[in-house]
Amino acid sequence: YHGTELSGARMTIWLQKGEMLLKPHSRVQVFEGAEDNLPDRDALRAALAIQQLAEGLTADDLLLVLISGGGSALLPAPIPPVTLEEKQTLTKLLAARGATIQELNTIRKALSQLKGGGLAQAAYPAQVVSLILSDVVGDPVEVIASGPTVASAHNVQDCLHILNHYGLRAALPRSVKTVLARADSDPRGPPSCGHVLNVIIGSNALALAEAQQQAEVLGYRAVVLSAAMWDTPAAHRADRYQCHGHPPLVPAASVMA
């Protein structure tokens, strides 16, 4: 539907879906995939199209990359002979056994053509600028979406340690063993990303800083407790973070006034 609502100084505009669709003969291509945040054939097709575009760039080009949480599922490009199904199965097994997001991404990057700096490497010698929306506490750019424009700091031994820890090394498909062995013997080492600028443009920390600033403009004395989720009782937080002798007004919030 289409409409406009005025409320004080605010104006909200609703657009019909058709107004957000691409015009005929547009140079922009849209790929949909990763239904339910799981990599699928549609996402693989999109990833390979992105890889082909990146590999065709020159030193005179600039690749602008927009990255957000969910990017791992949206950009699956397993290193042959690993198949998408094999990579999915291994990821699900690790998740079911309690692997952390950092451990999952370490394995994903080792088996991917585009993660762990692979996209940046494909685009070389073009300059790459990545604008990143973080969904990971602390905003580690190498973890968000498995870091397609960030060189991986992990090696094959890290992967083997994770697989051993969760009892999966013996059950690895032959294709996965082949890719890990090939990477372990690669004299070039991990890809370099000196031609890349990674910029966090949205995160818990940035949102909290803005919320704190706006609260102070309104006359509140604001304290940012944490950019992460807390599991300590609210009473303990109130005890730890008293502001000039006055407890926070809303103990469960991340910004206290």
Q: Is it the case that residue 69 has pLDDT exceeding 50?
A: yes
Q: Is it the case that residue 123 has pLDDT exceeding 90?
A: yes
What is the pTM for the complete model shown? Answer: 0.77
Retrieve residue 3's tokens. Answer: 């409409």
Residues 6+ apart with CB under 8 A from 51: 77, 113, 114, 119, 122
Return the pLDDT at 9.
46
Computed over every residue of the chain, the mean pLDDT equals: 82
How much of the chain, in percent, has pLDDT values that exceed 90? Answer: 54
Return the pLDDT at 53.
95
Q: Is it the case that residue 8 has pLDDT exceeding 90?
A: no
Torsion of CA 140, 142, 147, 150, to 10 degrees: 120
Contact 114, 79 (CB under 8 A): no
Return the pLDDT at 46.
94
Q: CA–CA distance from 225 to each of 221, 222, 228 (Å)? A: 13, 9, 9
Of 2 and 85, more confident: 85
Average pLDDT over residues 38-53: 94
Q: Is it the case that residue 39 has pLDDT exceeding 50?
A: yes
